[in-house]
Amino acid sequence: LYTAPESCEGRCGEPLSEEDECHCHPECESHGSCCGDYDRHCRPGGFSRSSDSITDQELLEVSEQLYGLDHNKARPTDIAINPQHQAAPGETGHKEDLSPHPLYKYVNEELFSKPTYSSFIKLLDNYQRATGREEEVTADELQEQDNFLREVMKTELMKKLFAFLHGKNRYDSEQEFLEDLKQMWFGLYSRGDGEQDSSGFEHVFSGEVKKGKVSGFHNWIRFYLLEKQGIVNYFSHNFNGPWDTFPDVLGLQFSWDGFYKEVGSAFIGSSPEFEFGLYTLCFLARPGRACHLSLGGHSLSIQTYPWTKSTYGNGRSFIATAYVMSP
């Protein structure tokens, strides 16, 4: 279900990449690798213009801008972590607790009173973590989704992201962007037996359990809150990012109420809007393949995948997953 897109919609002029199943650059004709809808989208008269494609360089530039606008991220004094054991590549599947102490020694919980944090945290208890069990979405939970989206859209970071996407003719108005964010992230689809049991937000930020394993769960706030309650047990890490400030990146091994996660990569100390914005950018610009960014002068890649079994609107894709890649 996790595949690169086979369409040229919004991709005309993108550089050729071996990661792509098909291509939308004019050179694809000589290579015989054009997507099936290349003519409809990318030839003169098609409704996707090459100027609307997002180049690799533009991704580096806009990601640095978003990094600089993460005004709500943790300060160095707000978080103290204790990574302890670093797992070798062959150790991540061993399910051994090699770190006797919690990952988080200290978090300044005043962070959580910031509007984007508090509205984000209220969303985390809205989900049945087991796939195959239909989600029952209440009116209050719908309101919590709207509150979170409204708060993140007030931030300079998300306004910058919208301005960038608007300049690429992806959205005509902020309201259209807001409505699409709600669908791509919170729209329900079925990972199980036809039940509306999952969404991009649940999978990425809250976490799920599928076939006895933790699926998704890539958020530091969720991890901290559950570790504090004794529900998450930190085992080890296999990657620690190059940053000496926040946001940092860790690749984690942990148990969630008895279910194991072999590698749960996560930003540490970033604001909810930072992760939400970066994942959205990469999902729209490079769905199904590595999205190469620059954050504080450091290279970093994010992987996203669209859900391929169902769509919304005019064939738009829900988010299946999004996560920061550990080298």
Q: Which stretches of the chain are DSSP H helices? A: 28-31, 38-42, 56-68, 115-121, 139-153, 156-167, 174-186, 200-201, 220-228, 272-285
CA 38: distance to chain centroid? Answer: 28
Q: For residue 48, which of 3, 7, 6 has the smallest C-alpha distance?
A: 7
Residue with tokens 């996203």, as numbered in its chain: 304
Order of strands, sheet of 290-295, starting from the edge strand that comes earlier in the sequence = 290-295, 298-312, 316-324
- Which listed residue (218, 228, 292, 298) is catalytic? 218
- Is there a catalytic annotation at residue 218? yes
Is residue 262 within 8 Å of 272, Cβ to Cβ? no
Catalytic residue selected from 261, 292, 298, 309: 261
Q: Is 261 a catalytic residue?
A: yes
Q: What DSSP designation does 94 have?
A: S
Handedness of CA 65, 66, 69, 70 (dihedral sign): negative
Does the annotation mark 23 as catalytic? no
Residue 54 sits at φ, ψ, to 5 deg, of -105, 115
Q: Which long-range contacts (CB under 8 A, 24 or more apart) does 86-92 make?
A: 86/236, 86/237, 86/238, 86/240, 87/235, 87/236, 87/237, 87/238, 87/253, 88/238, 89/238, 91/236, 91/238, 92/236, 92/238, 92/253, 92/262, 92/263
Q: Which one of 41, 203, 210, 237 is the catalytic residue?
A: 203
Catalytic residues: 203, 218, 261
